[in-house]
Amino acid sequence: MAPPRAREAVVPSPARTEPGTGTEPGTGPSTGPSTGTGPSTGAGPAPPRRLPLPPLIAALCLALVASLVCGAGLGASGLSWGEVLRHLWAGLSGGVISPDEVAAYTIVWELRFPRALLAAVVGAGLSAVGVAIQAMVRNALADPFTLGISSGAAIGANAVLIFGALGALGVWALSAAAFASALCAMILVYAVARTAQGLTPLRLVLTGTAMYYGFSAISTLMVFMAERGEAARSAMMWLLGSLAGATWASVPIAAGAVLAALGYLAVSARRLNALAMGDETAAALGVDAGRLRKELFLLAAAVTGAVVAVSGAIGFVGLMVPHAARMLVGADHRRVMAVAPLAGAVLLIWVDIASRTILAPTELPVGVLTAVIGVPCFLLLMRRRGYSFGGGA
Does 286 sit near another protein (CB under 8 A)?
Answer: yes
> Which of these segments, 44-52, 84-92, 171-179, 239-247, binds another protein (CB under 8 A)?
44-52
CB of 49 to another protein, least distance (A): 8
- Comparison of 87 and 333: residue with beta carbon closer to another protein: 333
Count of H-run helices and E-run strands, the chain: 15, 0
Does 80 sit near another protein (CB under 8 A)?
Answer: no
Closest Cα to residue 253, out of 158, 112, 145, 114?
A: 114
Cα 255 to Cα 126, 136, 252, 258, 262: the distances in Å are 12, 23, 5, 5, 10
Q: For 109-133, what is the HEC assignment?
A: HHHHHHHHHHHHHHHHHHHHHHHHH
CB of 339 to another protein, least distance (A): 15
**Sequential DSSP letters for 327-365:** HHH-S-HHHHHHHHHHHHHHHHHHHHHHHHHTTTTSPPP
- Comparison of 142 and 232: residue with beta carbon closer to another protein: 142
Contact 151, 278 (CB under 8 A): no
Does 20 sit near another protein (CB under 8 A)?
Answer: yes
Among 3, 198, 214, 390, binds another protein (CB under 8 A): 390
Chain centroid offset of residue 307 CA:
9
Contact 210, 336 (CB under 8 A): no
> Which of these segments, 61-69, 70-78, 247-255, 327-335, binds another protein (CB under 8 A)?
327-335
CB of 307 to another protein, least distance (A): 25
Does 265 sit near another protein (CB under 8 A)?
Answer: no
Among 14, 93, 280, 383, binds another protein (CB under 8 A): 280
> Which of these segments, 99-107, 117-125, 268-276, 337-345, binds another protein (CB under 8 A)?
268-276
Q: Give, as ranges, the residues between 181 and 210 that touch another protein (CB under 8 A).
A: 196
Residues with Cβ < 8 Å from 100, sequence gap 6 or more? none
Cα 333 to Cα 14, 135, 338: the distances in Å are 25, 9, 8
Among 3, 35, 69, 202, binds another protein (CB under 8 A): 35
Binding residues (CB under 8 A) for another protein: these are: 16, 18-22, 26-41, 45-46, 49, 135, 138, 140, 196, 266-268, 270-271, 273-274, 276-281, 283-288, 326, 330-332, 387-391
